[in-house]
Structure 1
Amino acid sequence: MSAPASATTTDHLHDPAAEPVTLDRRDGPYGEVVLRRRGTRLEIIANGCFLMDTSDGRSERLLIDAARDALPAGREAPDVLVGGLGVGFSLAHAAADARWGRIAVVEREEAVIDWHREGPLGAISGAALRDARTVILHTDLVEYLRTTTDRYDALCLDIDNGPEWTVTEDNGNLYSAAGLAMCRDRLKPGGVLAVWSANPSPAFGEALRNAGFTGVRAEEVPVARGVPDVVHLAVRTA
């Protein structure tokens, strides 16, 4: 979500001056969500905030690959939880990798799920949704982490523009000490937490260390303008 999209801007792929065309607009429990087409790209808008588009996807793919690469060597068919379906880049990339086991995706917006199952975003996620390893969980991520007893090898979270730029106020709980403790509890020993951000956050890195994670680091994806997209990584060692 660079500046603040979760996909980086590549102006050579579309006309940035193109007028947006609204394809669907829904009012849900978390406010309004809109699917728009602008030139050749699709955009998701939540409560008037530009969230993500289909112009790139490098940082969403990095979210998945960096988590997998940080897992202990020899771990067979690791399970991954993807927090946020978005435009589908992360899910599609995970499903394209036969090394993953179960691929669970938590998405709280029914409209977003519909746009993938029955709408134009299916062009990105269709094969992944048909993959037997994939399960879509229609629920709020923070609530799911609080109530589930499932544990995963990797949590790949991309529900906000970053720890310091949340889509809704309640999402801030995910990046608090209590929220990070929930994430740690949902990981198997040696499991990896990967969090997407539209900008580097040294304070979040420190919060991860304070929550008992090790191997805390950040990987960057340069963008055409502005600060790079970032994937924050942290490991549960015990």
Structure 2
Amino acid sequence: MTASHAPHHPPVTLDRRDGPFGEVVLRRRGEGPGAVHEIIANGCFLMDTSDGRSERRLVEAALAALPAGRRDPALLIGGLGVGFSLARAAEEPRWGRITVVEREPAVIDWHRGGPLGAFSAAALADPRTEIVQADLVAYVQQGGCSFDALCLDIDNGPGWTVTEDNGGLYSPAGLAACRKLLTPGGVLAVWSAQPSEEFDEALRNAGFAEVTTEEIAVARGVPDVVHLAFGAA
């Protein structure tokens, strides 16, 4: 998720729905090729289509961190958002299975038959892609098939969650569940609007073998951050 740098136009509401976790709204600022789409949840800005470099870098950093020679690594993306992470993953032929977990039916609809399809249509048509409508916290805790990389971007950071329930993902139990989903040598990548030494320490306490942080320059303001945590080989 990124701070909004949309043009200074009054927003136009394209859709508003009561979802399973509250109200979600899709808005547009501007017209034509320069228009910016925004997702708002319970009155809180989540993300827009003005930039996207950090969402793309989340996926790129995870792939670069995997052991060399790993074939067709399986990727889990937590949060569909405006589609930048999924689109970047589908552009990369080295990824194998690409699973996206999104809890808001409205967001999925906005991609499959709405304005956000402009950013994700090719990725959604990719045979490697699967969209799962589910709460990411519950999905991770339930376990199941393993992934080589988990790329999570459902909040503005571990300390700035969209809903209170999301805090469970960053708890000791939530992080341990993420680690158990990883194949040996796999990587957990978590997007954040700011660095957090406390979260890095929580990752170490959850049993990850190595923890690093990568800063990502944005158009304005402080850099975004990707926390990278590596499972045991």
* TM-score, normalising length: structure 1: 0.94
Distance across 2 between alignment mates of 1:20 and 1:124? 19
Q: What do residues 133-176 of structure 1 show as CA deviations (whole Å, max 9, x unaligned)?
A: 00000000011111131110000000000000000000000001
2:83 is equivalent to residue 88 of structure 1: yes
SS at match of 1:136: strand
Q: Tell me: higher relative CO, structure 1 or 2? Use CA pairs within 8 A at least 6 residues apart.
A: 1
- How far is the alpha carbon of 1:28 from its aligned partner? 1.2
Distance across 2 between alignment mates of 1:88 and 1:20? 20
SS at match of 2:111: helix
* Residues 53 and 218, structure 2, Cα contact 8 Å, conserved in 1: no
Alignment partner, residue 100 of structure 1: 95
SS at match of 1:212: coil
1:33-112 superposed matches below 5 A: 33-39=24-30, 40-112=35-107
Distance across 2 between alignment mates of 1:149 and 1:201? 29
SS at match of 1:85: coil
2:156 is equivalent to residue 161 of structure 1: yes
* TM-score, normalising length: structure 2: 0.96
User: Which ranges in structure 1 are unaligned for 5 or more consecutive residues?
Assistant: none
Alignment partner, residue 141 of structure 2: 146
Alignment partner, residue 27 of structure 1: 18
User: Which ranges in structure 2 are unaligned for 5 or more consecutive residues?
Assistant: none
2:201 is equivalent to residue 210 of structure 1: no
Across the two proteins, how many residue pairs are aligned to each other?
Answer: 229
Alignment partner, residue 177 of structure 2: 182
User: Which amino acid is the alignment partner of residue 182 of structure 2?
Assistant: L
| Runs of 4+ that moved beyond 3 A | none
Match of 1:223 among 218, 221, 225: 218
Q: What do residues 167-226 of structure 1 show as CA deviations (whole Å, max 9, x unaligned)?
A: 000000000111000000000010000000011111111111111112211111122333
Distance across 2 between alignment mates of 1:75 and 1:236? 15
Q: What do residues 106-142 of structure 1 show as CA deviations (whole Å, max 9, x unaligned)?
A: 0000000000000010000000000000000000001
Distance across 2 between alignment mates of 1:87 and 1:100? 20
SS at match of 2:132: strand
RMSD of Structure 2 on Structure 1 (CA): 1.1
- How far is the alpha carbon of 1:53 from its aligned partner? 0.2
1:183-198 superposed matches below 5 A: 183-198=178-193
User: Which amino acid is the alignment partner of residue 223 of structure 1?
Assistant: V
* Residues 82 and 119, structure 2, Cα contact 8 Å, conserved in 1: yes
SS at match of 1:194: strand
Identity of aligned residues (%): 71
User: Which amino acid is the alignment partner of residue 112 of structure 1?
Assistant: V
195-204 vs 112-121, greater mean Cα deviation: 195-204
* Residues 185 and 230, structure 2, Cα contact 8 Å, conserved in 1: yes
Distance across 1 between alignment mates of 2:59 and 2:170? 19
